[in-house]
Structure 1
Amino acid sequence: MNKSKLTLILFGFLLSLHLSAQKGESLFDPNYMHEVRFYFFENNFFENMDSLWDVHHAASGINVPYTKALVQIDGNWLDTVGIRIKGLSSYYKANSKKKPFKVDLNEFTEGQQYDGMKKFNLHNGACDPAMLRDMLAYDVLRKAGVAAPRVSHCRLYFNDEFWGVYSIIEQIDKTFLKNNFASGGGTLIKNTGWDELHWKGPDIDPYLEDYEMKTNEDENDWSGFLHFVDVLNNTPDAEFAQAIQEVFDVDLYLHVMAVDVMTNNWDSYIDGERNWYLYHEPSSGKFHWIPWDYNLSLGGALTVEGAPYPPFEEDCYLQASFSYYSDDNVFYFINKTVPDIQQVFWDFGDGHTSTELEPSHQYTGTGTATVCLTAYRMENGNICENKRCKEIDLNFEPQQCQSIINGTSPYPATDPIFQLVAQQDEVCCEGDWDALCALQYYELSNSGQQSGVGTQGVEYDRDYPLIIADTNKVLIRRLMNVPEFRERYLNICCYLLANNFNQQRLFPLIDQQADLLRPHIKEDPNYIFHPDFFEYDTGNGSGGGGGAEIPALKWLLSQRFEQLEGHLADEGHDCSNATSLYGWHDIVINEVAASNVDPGGIPDPAGGYGDWIELYNNTAAEVRLDNFYLTDDPAKPLRWAFPIGTVIAPNGYLIVWADEDEDEPGLHTNFKLSKSGEFLMLMHEDGSVLDSLTFGEQVTNLTYSRIPNGTGDFEIKAATHGFNNSPVNAVEAELAEQITVLPNPSDEQLVIDFGQNILLNEILSVSLLSPLGKTLRFEISDNSSRVVIPTASFPPGCYFVKIDFTSGSLMKKVVIAH
């Protein structure tokens, strides 16, 4: 079994063991179709919402007023909430009813929330026939360690009328920040326009055209943002690498950029200069990039045009197709299926059917009808079946158009292509047949909609290289000009292709979600695209044509995987260099303190009492922990990265404080541990899991420790914090009883007294160690009965006295307090 497949299986197992639930876990559960019902207080609610959007939609629709409604989410009633139409391209590229919406649960009812969420978005699937592009891109981002929105799907009802299938997309707000960062109280800034982050001077006014502050608005402090843009643009090259990392999470953005490039997400900073947030997190003091809006990734396009042929099985090729024309209210259907078929079944959409190869049918009603042709043929002893549907306009009367008989058109009214042109462009029916009408006739004559049946895919040639050459993108240009950042970025691309952005992981996700959505999409009365578009977009990559401009997901992804491998080769980058040399239990989670309090606990270097994790290196070599991660959530495997340059000594220990205090001395994660039980995992970005564990209820100031040290099972015991977990032997126990360290707490000095019955020549040395195990003072034994260590120069906190003797060593915890 290959490494990537094993990693995916392991992640699935770890997810099943995860104990803690995050806010929004129910609302954003992607494994079932949710139901959201709004009940409005007025009959013309939709017209009013549409009018409000029309008046207030400037600046990406962020200032549109909310409309009051009651809501029921998955059977749970909430009091009055706010709902409004949102978006720009997703508004314009939708039909008259299926607009995108934003929901604020506490707009009119203060403090109201559902499943921990206060706001969410309802996306209409504009530019995305599969309604999966946002979900797929955000899923890749989250697996890559990026804080990105979650996505699920729902059936949306307005006053009990089924409005359609929508994506529920997480709102980037204070709740999102608290869920994803060590501190959620920082300043969130939204990019609302088109900007490349160029320096426009020290005054904020020129920037406000493209940015809006979303939190801490009352303070209105833009100084951090201006400093970031200043550092980005004006720092000399020699100082840039260090300076930018002090104000900006560079590694995070390198992951975002890699996903944007891989998914061809042109409507982002890499090309369109839009759709992101910047979050200034207090605990790290850095800006973090939060990506937004991926419906135009993976081939999504600003169009609803086309009627692509559905996919077919490679071993059973068959594409049903037909055209039609009408004459005196009788419709004549022309079978264009390829290859030859043995049997057909026509459903005329009004309760009548036919098995004739090319039937005619007279309708008695008006409006529209959906006509479906199902074609059958035998191949290799199997029955091949393929279905094609079209909506026809029963009210259209081609005889009233300007045809060859009564006008300027050179075609008769019964010409099927003439009828299509006349229906699409009323000028070609009612006015003079001009050059534009002639062009439309020519294009339809030569398109797959009429004669090109069997054409696969669509014309799509977007192919971003890994290194964006646009020098106007100052963030990309400056980062890629730093060799270590460029190397790191290419390694990230290697990791993504190996473990995340690949067919093995994404194709099953597409299939699973398509199966979930399919029956509901078929019932969607306001689905934006042609009915066959969903099957084509979520299918095996075959089908297409029919004037479609959006490529099928699997076709696009298969092409992209191959392109990206080529781009890595073009860069001369060897992905084998990005693979970790270490495997399972080379480094282990050796000791865990999930309830560390004062008094009795162990303080961190700043004097606080946070949770902590001890790692132990089972190898005889120093290990550099670049690109290693700790997480307490298997859904976020890359949650906290070890700072570049962090090392763990051979057969050595490393303490990591799990307390969200990232700005303090030492190593501090962006998550805390739970005394009631928790999950932990140590992994490399290439997918290698070095250790993982799940523990239950813990005891205050005792630890969950491996016995024997580094290899054994876990026991709850007294903390050893940076030292061997294994019990002391009889000699060590006797020495421990006789040796005293006084005074404890200490101010000016510590006196280590060896007692009366110890062979002093057994004592080798005495050391004073910091909480992280660093040697602060080292004394060689001179066979005297006591050793004095001055402590006045050391800051208050918890320390350890280590006594080495010929048969081992022992440790005493001491406190220095001035």
Structure 2
Amino acid sequence: MIKYEILINPKWLRKLEYDLWDDDLVPAVLKIGNNRYKISLSYRGNVIRDKKKRSYRVVFEKPFTKNGAHELHLNAEFSDISLCRNKLSLDFFDRIGVISPHSRHILLYVNGYCKGIYLEIESLDQYLLKKRNLPDGAIIYATNNRANFSLITKKNEPKKRLDQGYTLKYGNKEDMEHLRSFIAMINVLKNEDFKREIVNILDVDKYLRWLCGVVCTQNYDGFIHNYALYKNGETNLYEISPWDYDGTWGRNLHGRLLDYDYVPVTGYNTLTGRILHFPEFKSKYKEILSTILDNDFTVEVQAPIINELFEKLKPYISLDPYIESDEATLDEEKSVFFEFIRNRNAYLNSELSILI
């Protein structure tokens, strides 16, 4: 496992600690092997900031990029006993044809103190598009649970703005205007008009693949949060990508066990509901999901991937001062993964009959 060491002036470290919710970046140095990078640093995430092991946002200053990336995330994965659910999810989305950030585990030190195992994750931004040879286009993050494609919030309160819950990562004001128009269209067009227009605004096939990924991994928040919209500059269609998927594969974001049938096969949010209203879209979703259940979301396929991830972590698990996991814990946790995949697969297959 590669070692990352952050070197930071104690006064800037105190600034980070003084206000955990401050997103202002502070200067630091990142050392990887014999290479040193001047960086800017801040804490990141929501729930994790209150934990003793926190996640970081790293922005490269000099040089401006590393391996084509200007920014990366170091996720603590504190509430995931396996430290693997996020990576396994992102890799799963990639496998089924959804644009997804790449990730790898690293061992992090700060000013000489071991902070444990972290998950390095690509930032979903214009640099990722360039690395993947994808067309340039706006990227908008769904940063809280108001990003539900609806006119009302999760608490059934009218939204003050149609773009509530969203943050522009890359693009301009016009891109947010397009998003507001998209959300309005989702909610006000009559069925026949929606069916005609949606294919001119959204890549429906890729959206259905994303929906399959959320439904299989059972990310409860994934329908109204934990995603990014990318407007492909060539097709001029929205595509959708996952991020922050630690509350998956049988546990929620707090690490508690979750029943395998907690999330329905149809998922939930306003856009999904409208798309699946139409038999041809529902039939396409059924076809894609059935293929994934047969070829990707099985114990036979995922077990070797999970085993390999766990074996890579085992030599370093005792170095993490913030978690109680050990090699035996990881071995025991495999049963949670395997039982979830087996039961979730059977449940979703049994529910395919309603997708007609």
Q: Shared fold by TM > 0.5? A: yes
5+ unaligned residues in a row in structure 2: which ranges?
A: 153-158
Residue pair 2:162, 2:180 contacting (<8 A) in 1 also: no
Quote the residue 1:37 is aligned against.
Answer: 5
Aligned residues of 2:71 and 2:123 also touching (Cα < 8 A):
yes
Shift of 1:209: 3.4
In structure 2, the partner of 1:682 is none
In structure 2, relative to structure 1, the CA distance for the partners of 1:242 and 1:180 (3 Å cut) is farther
| CA distance, structure 1, for counterparts of residue 233 and residue 302 of structure 2 | 35
Partner of 1:244: 198
State which of 496, 500, 512 in structure 1 corresponds to 2:292. Answer: 496
1:215 equivalent to 2:174? Answer no
Question: What's the CA shift for 1:140?
Answer: 1.3
- The aligned counterpart of 1:518 is 314
Q: Report the TM-score, using the length of structure 1 for normalisation.
A: 0.41
Residue 147 of structure 1, CA deviation: 0.4
Q: Distance in 2 between matches of 1:113 and 1:205?
A: 38
Give yes or no for the alignment of 1:142 onto 2:94.
Answer: yes
1:206 is aligned to: 161
* Greater percentage in strand: 1
Instruction: Tell me if structure 2 keeps the 8 A contact 1:36–1:155.
Output: yes
Mapped contact 1:123–1:167 kept (Cα < 8 A) = yes
The one of 101, 107, 116 equivalent to 2:68 is: 116
Q: Aligned residue for 1:292?
A: 243
Contact preservation (8 Å) 1:123, 1:166:
yes
Alpha-carbon distance between aligned partners in 1 of 2:129 and 2:307, rounded to the nearest angstrom: 31
Pairwise mapping of residues 556-635 of structure 1 onto structure 2 (< 5 A)? 556-568=340-352, 570-571=353-354
Is residue 42 of structure 2 the alignment partner of residue 84 of structure 1? yes
Please tell me the residue identity of whatever aligns with 1:565. Answer: N
Match of residue 282 from structure 1: 233
Question: 1:187 aligned to 127, 131, 138, which one?
Answer: 138
1:743-782 aligned at under 5 Å gives the runs none
The offset of 1:181, in angstroms, is: 6.0
Q: Do structure 1's residue 178 and structure 2's residue 146 form an aligned pair?
A: no
Superimposed CA distance per residue, residues 218-247 of structure 1 (whole angstroms, 9 cap, x where no aligned partner): x45433212322332222212322210101
The residue that corresponds to 1:345 in the other structure is none
Instruction: Indicate the RMSD between aligned Cα atoms, in angstroms.
Output: 2.3
- After superposition, what is the alpha-carbon deviation per residue over 1:130-152, rounded to whole angstroms, capped at 9, x for unaligned? 11111111111111111011110
Larger radius of gyration: 1
Question: 1:466 corresponds to which letter in structure 2?
Answer: V
**Are 1:227 and 2:195 an aligned pair?**
no
Alignment of 1:526-537 (within 5 A): 526-527=322-323, 529-531=324-326, 533-537=329-333
Task: State the distance in 2 between where 1:502 and 1:49 align.
Answer: 43
Q: Distance in 1 between matches of 2:12 and 2:345?
A: 46
The 1-side partners of 2:175 and 2:104 are apart by 35
Q: Find the partner of 2:28 among 53, 63, 69.
A: 69
CA 481–280 in structure 1, closer or farther in 2 if over 3 Å, else same: same
Amino acid at match of 2:6: F
Q: Would you say the 8 A contact 1:50–1:85 is kept in 2?
A: no
- Which one-letter code corresponds to 2:31 in the other structure? Q
Would you say 1:482 and 2:266 are equivalent positions?
no
Q: Counterpart of 1:464 in structure 2: which amino acid?
A: V
Quick one: distance in 1 between partners of 2:319 and 2:78?
17
Q: Residues 463, 194 of structure 1: CA spacing in aligned structure 2 closer, same or farther, 3 A cutoff? A: closer
> Shift of residue 290 of structure 1?
1.8
Q: What secondary structure, in the 3-state scheme, does the structure 2 residue paired with 1:138 have?
A: helix
- Deviations 1:235-263 (Å, cap 9, x if unpaired)? 22123222101011111110111111111
Identity %: 22
Alignment partner, residue 102 of structure 1: 57
Q: Separation in 1 of the partners of 2:325 and 2:176?
A: 47
Distance 1:562 1:276, change over 3 A: same
Change (3 A) 1:462 1:75: farther
Query: Is 1:49 paired with 2:49?
Result: no
Asked if the contact 1:228–1:248 (Cα under 8 Å) also holds between the matched residues in 2, the reply is: no
Supply the AA of the counterpart residue of 2:96: A
Pair 1:39–1:296, CA change in 2 (3 A): same
1:292-330, CA deviations, whole angstroms, 9 ceiling, x for partnerless residues? 21101112334468xxxxxxxxxxxxxxxxxxxxxxxxx
- Measure, in 1, the Cα distance between the counterparts of 2:71 and 2:213: 26
> Is 2:263 aligned against 1:467?
no
Amino acid at match of 2:25: Y
1:677-732 CA-partner distances (Å, limit 9, x unpaired): xxxxxxxxxxxxxxxxxxxxxxxxxxxxxxxxxxxxxxxxxxxxxxxxxxxxxxxx
1:462, CA displacement in angstroms? 4.2
CA contact (8 A) 2:90 2:101 kept: yes
Q: Which secondary structure state, in structure 2, belongs to the residue aligned with residue 240 of structure 1?
A: helix
Secondary structure at the aligned position of 2:20 is classed as helix
Q: Supply the distance in 2 between the matched residues of 1:173 and 1:50 (Cα, whole angstroms).
A: 27
State how 1:390-405 maps to structure 2 within 5 Å. none
Give 1:50's aligned amino acid. E
Aligned partners of 1:90 and 1:100 also within 8 Å:
yes
Task: Give the C-alpha shift of residue 47 in structure 1.
Answer: 3.4
Match of 2:155 in 1: none
Structure-1 separation of matches of 2:78 and 2:205: 32
The amino acid across from 1:467 in the alignment is T
TM-score by length of 2: 0.90
Contact 1:140 1:259 in 2 (8 A): yes
Q: Please give the alpha-carbon distance, in whole angstroms, between the structure 1 residues aligned to 2:337 and 2:162.
A: 37
Residues of 2 paired with 1:190 and 1:181: CA distance?
21
Q: Which one-letter code corresponds to 1:131 in the other structure?
A: L
Q: Within 2, Cα distance between the matches of 1:125 and 1:221?
A: 32
The 2-side partners of 1:287 and 1:512 are apart by 34
- Residues 220 and 65 of structure 1: is their aligned pair in 2 closer, same or farther, counting only changes over 3 Å? farther
SS of residue in 2 equivalent to 1:125 = coil
The change in CA–CA distance for 1:572 and 1:260 in structure 2 (over 3 A counts) is closer
Residues 572 and 99 from structure 1, CA distance in 2 versus in 1: closer, same or farther, beyond 3 angstroms? closer
- Residues 228/114 of structure 1: CA separation in 2 closer, same or farther (3 Å cut): same
More helix by share: 2
Aligned to 1:267: 221
SS at match of 1:147: coil
Give the aligned length.
Answer: 348
* CA–CA separation in structure 1 for the residues paired with 2:339 and 2:13: 38
